[in-house]
Structure formats: structure tokens, C-alpha cells
Amino acid sequence: MSRLKGRVGLAGLAVALAVTSGCSWQKRENRLLFGGFYFPVKAKAIDKKVSLADFTVTVDKASQSPDDAREAGRHGGTVYCIGNYGTSEIEWSLGPDSDPAQLRIVDDKLTFSGTCQRP
């Protein structure tokens, strides 16, 4: 009986480790490596009920390297538009090529906005 308890305990530990490692993997998939820095990036529709074309990209930890954060944001927008429209064409209203004086880092987050162009 104690042998069975030991196996059940080991199985429970293995499941707990698998679940924990799965959670950390999912969290890391939203991080992009640019210039030696990891930037958590999130792109989402401004109002998905209206259109998926208009979106924002938020780059966290932007103060690590503002130039690299801009490139991480460009990449996040490109991935978003390819996934939703099959094209990487973006018309940025405030984007990675905007004048640096226009860009604002608030709470260590850099936010861009743009519109995916149809192919």
C-alpha cells in the first residue's frame, strides 16, 4: 500500500510540474527578443465588433531599449496583420517610424496604433 502511495505522489508531482511548466511556456511565447532584450508584446483589435483591421500594439519594458522596443512593436503589428488579413501591409497612425518626439512610454509601455491593409 505504501508503494502505491509513493507512485501516486510521484504522479501528482509530475502532473503539477507539467502544468506549471506549461504556464510559463505560454507566458514566454508573447515575448520577443530584440537587441538582446525581451519585450512582452500584445497586439489586439481596437474594437473587434467593428473591425479587426484597426489595432494597437503594446510593448512592455520599453525603457530597456526604446529603439529595440520600436522594432518589437513593428514585428507584433506585422504578425497581427498577417494572422488576421494575410498581409504585412500596415498603415501606422502612430508607429515604429513615427517621430520619436511623438512616442510616449507610459508605465514602461510603448503603444502603437495602425490599420491592416487588405491584400
Residue with the three cell numbers 491584400: 119
In a domain, 4, yes or no: no
In a domain, 112, yes or no: yes
Give the integer Cα–Cα distance in Å for 119 and 67: 29
* Total domains, the chain: 1
Range of the structural domain that residue 97 is part of: 31-116
Q: Express each pLDDT in 22-55 by its tens digit.
A: 333 334 556 878 889 999 999 999 999 999 999 9
In a domain, 3, yes or no: no
Give the integer Cα–Cα distance in Å for 109 and 41: 10
In a domain, 12, yes or no: no
Give pLDDT, residue 107: 97
Give the integer Cα–Cα distance in Å for 5 and 73: 51
In a domain, 17, yes or no: no
- Whether the per-residue pLDDT at 57 is higher than 60: the answer is yes
Give pLDDT, residue 73: 97
pTM, two decimals, is: 0.74
Q: 29: number of CA atoms within 13 Å, CB side?
A: 7
